[in-house]
């Protein structure tokens, strides 16, 4: 069995690439499994992967490094149940120091039955270009530290969302990345293209150098502060309209949340929603740089009730983020004919990173 670790910042495209290649592999008769990971416990990604019939287990309530034993246990469960040929493990987008705390332990601990084959780190090409050209990014210094460290420890750097770059930007980005990271394997990729994710898979499945991967220096004070400057919010919302279609209301709800976050000068890491209506399951995703078209996608659907799982990861405080979402839901609930019920909201800052193991020799 091959195990491919996939890291990188919130919204960089990890799940998109994993789904694209998993579906291709499954259609060619391979057995695939995925491990998702998050600080929260109600995960849009898990729900979306399962909706695509991809066997998925999850490590919740903390990153792989802080819940290392859980990761090993889930890998074992998946291996026993599905007997997969290939497993992808996607770490939470606020996690770094994965080489020292996950890859080295998986490679070197006697009890570890699942040594990894590759470690890819995804970065949104537009954010990476701004970063390498010393432009200001919309993150605090400590959050930017996490973004930077994730890239620094990559074995394979996937510069993603290539389709959203001009040819000139792509060329500049490749040149700058080659200069900044001479020791990495660098790929420019569009993860919405099956052909491109297939090439990524060819690269990671033939990788033979994982055992030589180096750990990076990590300032845990800065890393911890960066995580604490992010807010997590998860909630399930059921919306019904007595006579009409709820989808335009869902668009309004998301737009209200988005506008309020932006007007408060908070930065979205990733706002993602899983909408279930009848037999349909739709994932809506708004990363740091909003991608157009989600409104039109949603308005193609119809139904007078839906269940919405909200996962918001925002540079903000949990109190502020909860209030923004509570107010938006309240606004929509005032519309005549609309009935809304909500599960208790789960809102918090990720705890200080406290890895189970840390192999700090290079
Ligand atoms: N145009 C374009 N969009 C992409 C690409 N890869 C991902 N996306 C979009 O980017 C958004 C975020 O993608 P995800 O795959 O959910 O990102 P992620 O890294 O798994 O996010 P988290 O799990 O929250 O950290 C979605 O709207 C995707 O459709 C790409 O190569 N090109
Ligand atoms: Mg994901």
Torsion angle in degrees (nearest 10) through CA of 259, 265, 270, 272 = -20
Put simply, whether the predicted model's pTM sits higher than 0.85 gets the answer: yes
Q: Are 89 and 6 in contact (CB under 8 A)?
A: yes
pLDDT above 90: residue 20: yes
**Residue 16 Cα to ligand 1 middle (Å):** 5
Least confident range of 96-105, 107-116, 174-183, 298-307: 107-116
Strand 267-277 to 280-287 pairing: antiparallel
Q: What is the pLDDT of residue 362?
A: 64
Highest mean pLDDT among 107-111, 208-212, 309-313, 356-360: 309-313
**Residue 45 Cα to ligand 1 middle (Å):** 11
Q: Whose CA is nearest to atom 9 of ligand 1?
A: 13
| Pocket perturbation via mutation, ligand 1, pick of 6, 8, 11 by most ligand atoms within 8 A of CB | 11
pLDDT, mean of residues 218-247: 97
pLDDT above 80: residue 321: yes
pLDDT above 70: residue 210: yes
pLDDT, mean of residues 282-308: 96
Rg (CA), the chain: 20
Q: Are 159 and 189 in contact (CB under 8 A)?
A: yes
Q: What is the pLDDT of residue 112?
A: 76
Q: Whose CA is nearest to atom 7 of ligand 1?
A: 13
| CA 347/CA 356 separation, integer angstroms | 24
For the Cβ of 291 lying below 6 angstroms from any atom of ligand 1, the answer is yes
For the Cβ of 11 lying below 6 angstroms from any atom of ligand 1, the answer is yes
pLDDT, mean of residues 340-360: 96
**Residue 97 Cα to ligand 1 middle (Å):** 22
Q: Which ligand is nearest to the CA of 125?
A: 1
pLDDT above 80: residue 111: no
pLDDT above 80: residue 276: yes
Q: Angle at CA 153, nearest 5°, toward 6 and 181?
A: 110
Counting atoms of ligand 1 from 1, which one is nearest the CA of 93?
A: 25
Q: What is the pLDDT of residue 128?
A: 98
Q: Are 228 and 350 in contact (CB under 8 A)?
A: yes
For the Cβ of 94 lying below 6 angstroms from any atom of ligand 1, the answer is no
Q: What is the pLDDT of residue 350?
A: 95
pLDDT above 90: residue 205: yes
| CA 110/CA 94 separation, integer angstroms | 28
pLDDT, mean of residues 104-114: 87
Q: Which ligand is nearest to the CA of 197?
A: 1
Percentage of residues of the chain with pLDDT beyond 70 = 100
Q: What is the pLDDT of residues 176-192, one digit of tens each?
A: 999 999 999 999 999 99
Q: Whose CA is nearest to atom 14 of ligand 1?
A: 13
pLDDT above 70: residue 93: yes
Q: Which ligand is nearest to the CA of 287?
A: 1
| CA 150/CA 290 separation, integer angstroms | 22
**Residue 259: pLDDT band by 50, 70, 90 thresholds?**
very high
Q: What is the pLDDT of residues 141-177, one digit of tens each?
A: 999 999 999 999 999 999 999 999 999 999 999 999 9
Q: Are 84 and 78 in contact (CB under 8 A)?
A: yes
pLDDT above 70: residue 73: yes
């Amino acid at each position: 069995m091959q195990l491919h670790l996939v890291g990188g910042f919130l919204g960089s495209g990890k799940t998109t690439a994993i789904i694209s290649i998993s579906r291709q592999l499954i259609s060619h008769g391979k057995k695939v499994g995925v491990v998702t990971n998050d600080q929260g416990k109600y995960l849009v990604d898990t729900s979306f992967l399962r909706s695509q019939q991809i066997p998925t287990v999850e490590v919740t309530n903390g990153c792989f490094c802080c819940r290392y034993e859980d990761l090993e246990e889930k890998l074992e469960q998946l291996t026993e149940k599905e007997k997969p040929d290939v497993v992808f493990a996607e770490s939470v987008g606020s996690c770094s120091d994965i080489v020292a705390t996950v890859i080295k332990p998986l490679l070197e601990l006697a009890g570890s039955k699942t040594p990894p084959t590759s470690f890819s780190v995804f970065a949104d090409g537009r954010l990476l270009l701004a970063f390498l050209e010393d432009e200001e990014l919309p993150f605090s210094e400590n959050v930017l530290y996490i973004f930077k460290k994730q890239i620094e420890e990559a074995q394979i750097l996937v510069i993603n969302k290539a389709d959203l770059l001009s040819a000139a930007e792509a060329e500049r980005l490749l040149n700058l990345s080659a200069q900044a990271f001479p020791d990495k394997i660098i790929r420019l990729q569009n993860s919405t293209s099956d052909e491109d994710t297939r090439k990524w898979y060819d690269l990671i499945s033939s990788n033979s150098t994982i055992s030589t991967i180096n750990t990076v220096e990590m300032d845990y004070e800065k890393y911890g502060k960066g995580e604490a400057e992010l807010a997590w919010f998860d909630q399930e919302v059921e919306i019904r309209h007595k006579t009409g279609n709820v989808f335009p209301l869902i668009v309004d709800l998301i737009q209200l949340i988005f506008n309020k976050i932006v007007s408060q000068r908070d930065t979205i890491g990733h706002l993602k929603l899983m909408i279930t209506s009848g037999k349909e399951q739709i994932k809506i995703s708004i990363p740091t740089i909003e991608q157009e078209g989600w409104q039109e996608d949603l308005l193609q659907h119809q139904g007078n009730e839906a269940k919405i799982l909200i996962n918001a990861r925002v540079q903000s405080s949990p109190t502020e983020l909860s209030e923004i979402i509570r107010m938006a839901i309240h606004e929509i609930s005032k519309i005549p004919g609309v009935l809304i019920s909500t599960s208790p909201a789960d809102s918090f800052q990720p705890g200080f990173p406290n890895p189970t193991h840390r192999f700090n020799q290079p």
